[in-house]
Amino acid sequence: MLQKFLDLFLCAIIAATFPTASAASSLDAVGRTLFESTTLGKSGRSCSTCHPGGRGLEQVDDFTDDELKDIINACIRDALHGSKLAENAEELRALVAYVRSLKR
């Protein structure tokens, strides 16, 4: 009886965890593609031109998501000569998720 309850409990945890985990990692994947892409601006560069393998991004945990969005937009505008992304754009959220994932 107890075992059955535990099994059900485990299943519930697994079911509750997996969709979130895969949604988070697919956001990372979108972010990685953008990070390597030269299409965010007109400079012919990508984020990884200046931050190869996450160089210079070691302190990202010191910032909130909103602060990171501002910093990333500043890099897009000034370093990539691109247009800032909207605050709630999926691309911007993906880049935040990806730069955070570089720390893991």
Contact residues toward ligand HEC (CB under 6 A) are 35, 40, 45, 47, 49-51, 56-57, 59-60, 68, 71-72, 75-76, 79-80, 95, 99
Angle at 47 between CA 66 and CA 30, to 5 degrees: 70
Nearer to ligand HEC by Cβ, of 13 and 103: the residue is 103
Q: How far is the CB of 99 from ligand HEC (least distance, A)?
A: 5
Q: Toward ligand HEC, which CB reaches closer, 6 or 74? A: 74
Q: Give, in order, the Cα–Cα distances in Å from 20 to each of 32, 48, 64, 78.
A: 18, 27, 21, 34
Whole-angstrom CA distances from 75 to 3, 27, 40, 44, 69 are: 54, 20, 10, 13, 10
Q: Which is nearer to ligand HEC, 28 or 35 (CB)?
A: 35
Smallest gap from residue 73 Cβ to ligand HEC (A): 8
